[in-house]
C-alpha cells in the first residue's frame, strides 16, 4: 500500500465533495465547544454537540453533513493543550477512521512546523492496512489520497520527505512481520530485504549455510539445523561520505518459532511468525537511514533461522560454539533468540563500532513486567540514555531494566562457558536474557573493557498488537521502534 499525499495549506478555501474536514471538540466550563481551528464552522454554532453524540474524549469522532457534499468530522481532543505526541496519534487515528474519504483536511491550530509535521506523520503511519491474505472478505479499504493540514507553520520539503521515508520503512516492517511462516522463511526474508534495499545506498550480503559454517556462527546454525529451510545471515552496510560515528544494529530473525524440541504449547505457538520482528526492524531502519543520507555509518546484522523440531534439531544439553569462541550449553531450545544474537553481537563487535543496539522479541517476561506499550531496555548507560532520548523524540516508549551482574551466576554451565537459561527459574527472565547477550559484546566474555556502548531492546510486548488499532499503532504488526532507531542514528550523526 502507499501512504496518502501529505499537504499543507495557509487557509481554508471551500468545501469539496468526498472530503472530510476535521474539527476539534473540547470542553469549556463543562460544556462541549468547537476548538480553535482553521475551517469555516458557522453552520455548527447552533448545534447542541452533546445531543449529536460528540465528545471531548480523545480520538472520539462524530460525522455531520457539510456544504457541497462534504463532511464535518468532529474529533475529541480532550481538555488540555496537545503536545506533538498527541497530535501524531490524533493524525493517525482520525486518518484511519476517515480512510474511506478521498481527502481529509485537518483544521487543528498548530504552534510550529514540528506540530504540523506530527499530524502528517500520524496520517502516514495510521492508514496502514494489511489485506494481502484476504480472499472473499477484503477488509477495510483505504481510499484516502490526500491529507491536508491548514496551518501557517509549514514543514520543510526535507521534513515531509523524512516523514514519507520513515512511514515507508515502518510499513515495510509491518508487511514482513504480518506474513505467515509458510511464506516468510530465512531465504525469502533475506531476499525480501535485499529487494527493499535496492537503490537506497545500502549494500547487502547474504550468507547461507556454507558461509555460516566457515565464519563459525554456531548459534545461528544450531537453531536452524532442525528446519529443512536453512538459516541465513544478512549483512547490510551504509557508508556515507561524511560522518565519523559507526552504529551497529543486530536483529533477531526467527521466521517461525515452535520452540524446537522444547516444544511450545499450541496456543503459545500462535503469532510466532512475529519472532523475526527484530531483524525486519533493523533492516527497515538501516534502509531509511540511507535514504535520508544521515551522516553516520551503519552496519546491520540480521540473524535469521527457523526454529523447528525434527530428527536434526539441536537437543537440550547440546553444546554449541558462538562466533567469539564462547561455548553455550543449550538447556532450553525455546530460548533460541539469544543464540542467534550471540553470533550477531560477536560479528558486530569485531568492527569496534561506537554503538551496538540489538533488537529482539526476546522474552515473554518483558510483557509481564511492562505491559504491551513499553519495550524493555538494558545495557551500558550511555547507550541506554541515547536510545531513551531517541524514543522520547518520536513518541515510542521504553523502560530501563537493571542489568544486575549478581544474577549472571544463574546461567553458569557445568560443561560449557555459559548456559542459555536457568531451568526452573522464572524470576527476572528479561534481565537474564540481557546478561546472556552482554557476554557477546566486545571483549566482555574475557573480562576485558572496551569502548563499545551497547543497548538491548526487548520488543516482545510491542511488536504485535492483538487488540484494536489506537494512535499510530495498527492491529497486528506495529513496526515498533523502527522510528526510534532512525532517530538514534540522526542524534548520533
Q: What's the Cα-to-Cα distance from 448 to each of 343, 346, 413, 440, 444, rounded to whole Å?
A: 19, 14, 21, 12, 5
What does the alpha-carbon distance between residue 358 and residue 342 come to, in Å, rounded to a whole number? 10
**Position of cell 531502519?**
285
> Which amino acids are annotated catalytic?
264, 338
- Contact assessment for residue 21 and residue 105, using Cβ atoms and an 8 Å cutoff: yes
What nine digits make up the cell of 69?
A: 457534499
- Contact assessment for residue 230 and residue 186, using Cβ atoms and an 8 Å cutoff: yes
What nine digits make up the cell of 214?
A: 566457515
What does the alpha-carbon distance between residue 114 and residue 153 come to, in Å, rounded to a whole number? 8
What nine digits make up the cell of 165?
A: 521515508
Q: What's the Cα-to-Cα distance from 58 to each of 124, 247, 493, rounded to whole Å?
A: 19, 38, 36
SS3 469: coil
What does the alpha-carbon distance between residue 141 and residue 468 come to, in Å, rounded to a whole number? 17
What nine digits make up the cell of 221?
A: 546454525
Helical segments of 377-440, H only: 381-394, 429-438
What does the alpha-carbon distance between residue 161 and residue 270 come to, in Å, rounded to a whole number? 37
What does the alpha-carbon distance between residue 406 and residue 422 come to, in Å, rounded to a whole number? 14
Helical segments of 236-336, H only: 266-269, 277-291
What does the alpha-carbon distance between residue 463 and residue 393 come to, in Å, rounded to a whole number? 19
What nine digits make up the cell of 269?
A: 505457538
What does the alpha-carbon distance between residue 173 and residue 465 come to, in Å, rounded to a whole number? 14
Q: Is 29 exposed, middle or buried (0-12, 13-18, 19+ CB in 10 A)?
A: exposed
**Position of cell 557508508?**
239
SS3 32: strand
SS3 81: coil
Q: What angle do CA 5, 468, 256 make, to 5 degrees?
A: 90
Residues 6+ away with beta carbon under 8 Å from 244: none
Amino acid at each position: 500500500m502507499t501512504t496518502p499525499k501529505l499537504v499543507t495549506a495557509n487557509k481554508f478555501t471551500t468545501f469539496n465533495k468526498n472530503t472530510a474536514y476535521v474539527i476539534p471538540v473540547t470542553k469549556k466550563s463543562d460544556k462541549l465547544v468547537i476548538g480553535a481551528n482553521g475551517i469555516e464552522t458557522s453552520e455548527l454554532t447552533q448545534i447542541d454537540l452533546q445531543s449529536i453524540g460528540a465528545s471531548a474524549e480523545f480520538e472520539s469522532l462524530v460525522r455531520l453533513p457539510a456544504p457541497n457534499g462534504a463532511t464535518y468530522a468532529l474529533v475529541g481532543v480532550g481538555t488540555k493543550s496537545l503536545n506533538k505526541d498527541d497530535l501524531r496519534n490524533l493524525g493517525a487515528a482520525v486518518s484511519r477512521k476517515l480512510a474511506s474519504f478521498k481527502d481529509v483536511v485537518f483544521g487543528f491550530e498548530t504552534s510550529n512546523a514540528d506540530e504540523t509535521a506530527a499530524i502528517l506523520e500520524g496520517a502516514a503511519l495510521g492508514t496502514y492496512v494489511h489485506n494481502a491474505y484476504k480472499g472473499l472478505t477484503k477488509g477495510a479499504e483505504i481510499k484516502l489520497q490526500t491529507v491536508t493540514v491548514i496551518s501557517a507553520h509549514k514543514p520543510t520539503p526535507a521534513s515531509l520527505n523524512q516523514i514519507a521515508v520513515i512511514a515507508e520503512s515502518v510499513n515495510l516492517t509491518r508487511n514482513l512481520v504480518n506474513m505467515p511462516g509458510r511464506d516468510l522463511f530465512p531465504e525469502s526474508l533475506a531476499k525480501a530485504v535485499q529487494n527493499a534495499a535496492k537503490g537506497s545506498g545500502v549494500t547487502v550480503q547474504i550468507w547461507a549455510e556454507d558461509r555460516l559454517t566457515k565464519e563459525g556462527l554456531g548459534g545461528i546454525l544450531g537453531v536452524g539445523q532442525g528446519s529443512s529451510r536453512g538459516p541465513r545471515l544478512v549483512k547490510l552496510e551504509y557508508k556515507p561520505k561524511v560522518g565519523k560515528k559507526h552504529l551497529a544494529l543486530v536483529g533477531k530473525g526467527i521466521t517461525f518459532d515452535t520452540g524446537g524440541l522444547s516444544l511450545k504449547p499450541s496456543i503459545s505457538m500462535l503469532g510466532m511468525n512475529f519472532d523475526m520482528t527484530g531483524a525486519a526492524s533493523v533492516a527497515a531502519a538501516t534502509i531509511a537511514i540511507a535514504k535520508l543520507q544521515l551522516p553516520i555509518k551503519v552496519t546491520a546484522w540480521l540473524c535469521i533461522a527457523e526454529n523447528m523440531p525434527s530428527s536434526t534439531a539441536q537437543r537440550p544439553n547440546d553444546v554449541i560454539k558462538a562466533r567469539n569462541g564462547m561455548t553455550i550449553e543449550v538447556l532450553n531450545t525455546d530460548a533460541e533468540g539469544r543464540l542467534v544474537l550471540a553470533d550477531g553481537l560477536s560479528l558486530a563487535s569485531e568492527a569496534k563500532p561506537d554503538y551496538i543496539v540489538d533488537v529482539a522479541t526476546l522474552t515473554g517476561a518483558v510483557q509481564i513486567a511492562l505491559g504491551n506499550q513499553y519495550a524493555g531496555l538494558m545495557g551500558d548507560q550511555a547507550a541506554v540514555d541515547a536510545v531513551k532520548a531517541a524514543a522520547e523524540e518520536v513518541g515510542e516508549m521504553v523502560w530501563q531494566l537493571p542489568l544486575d551482574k549478581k544474577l549472571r551466576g544463574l546461567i553458569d554451565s557445568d560443561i560449557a562457558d555459559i548456559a542459555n537459561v536457568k531451568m526452573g527459574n522464572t524470576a527476572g527472565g528479561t534481565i537474564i536474557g540481557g546478561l546472556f547477550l552482554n557476554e557477546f559484546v566486545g571483549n566482555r566474555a574475557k573480562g576485558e573493557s572496551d569502548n563499545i556502548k551497547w543497548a538491548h531492546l526487548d520488543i516482545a510486548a510491542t511488536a504485535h498488537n492483538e487488540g484494536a488499532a489506537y494512535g499510530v499503532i495498527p492491529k497486528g504488526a506495529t513496526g515498533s521502534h523502527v522510528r526510534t532507531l532512525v532517530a538514534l542514528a540522526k542524534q548520533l550523526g
